Structure 1
Amino acid sequence: MGSTLRQIALECGVAVSTVSRALNGHPHVNEETRRRIRETAERLGYRPSAAARALRGSGTRTVGVVLPDMMNAFYARTISMVQDQLEERGHSVVMAVTNNEGRRERTGLERLIASGVDGIIVVPTPTRRPPT
């Protein structure tokens, strides 16, 4: 498990706010202090919290994708390309696969919204047409 800003601050002998500013590239942090904080963060395995980032208003950098079927080659290729593009831009992808069930589509959407993703891409579940 990774460390927290508080653990890094204690080890470096600085305030938590200084650690936060140093790790976020704020210009008003002494370069030696910034270097020491970054080295300590790396050594302790610090990873920024997506939940904390979302709380301070800068988003989770996560996009939800709702797909009807992962066995379909078209959908599999599409999600692979979408994921490549999003990851290049620093975003993570969370998927919900509906197996062509409307109920699972609604549930997947609700869960993604509740998790605070920054955006959602939905490939709707195909609807069956009544016989004519």
Structure 2
Amino acid sequence: MLVKFHVEDGQADLLMQHTGQRVASKAFLLASLSAPGLAVELQDARQEIARLRRIIDRQQQVLEGARSAASLLLEVAGQGDLFMEKVPSPPPSSSRPAPSTPKIGTKMPRHTPARTLGELFGAPKIRPPQ
């Protein structure tokens, strides 16, 4: 089949450089034959880019959540010892009467000696080999 069309010299030179051909007709033939495969490759690349952008969006959401959590943690950690302050009690209701004395903190009294978990749960003491 014979196909005729007019192109400017600069366009033909550019296509010959791109394809590595010395004759414009061969350069145009090579370019036209590679066009369908390049179109499929371009479509695949666009789909891959879209998939990677979705992954990046998800990772940015995770990072933003982690930043928020870290910010809250720093805020709570920077407030001093929250457990030494008076623990607020919920208001009394008919099913739950008000406590008789307010609870303060969760720290153990100083006169109680520290005990190991084994002592707390009754595990036998293991003696090191002699």
TM range, smaller chain: under 0.3
Please, what TM-score do these two structures have when normalized by structure 1?
Answer: 0.18
Q: Which one scores higher on RCO, CA 8 angstroms, separation ≥ 6?
A: 1
Please, what TM-score do these two structures have when normalized by structure 2?
Answer: 0.18
User: Larger strand proportion, structure 1 or 2?
Assistant: 1
User: Larger helix proportion, structure 1 or 2?
Assistant: 2
Larger gyration radius, structure 1 or structure 2: 2
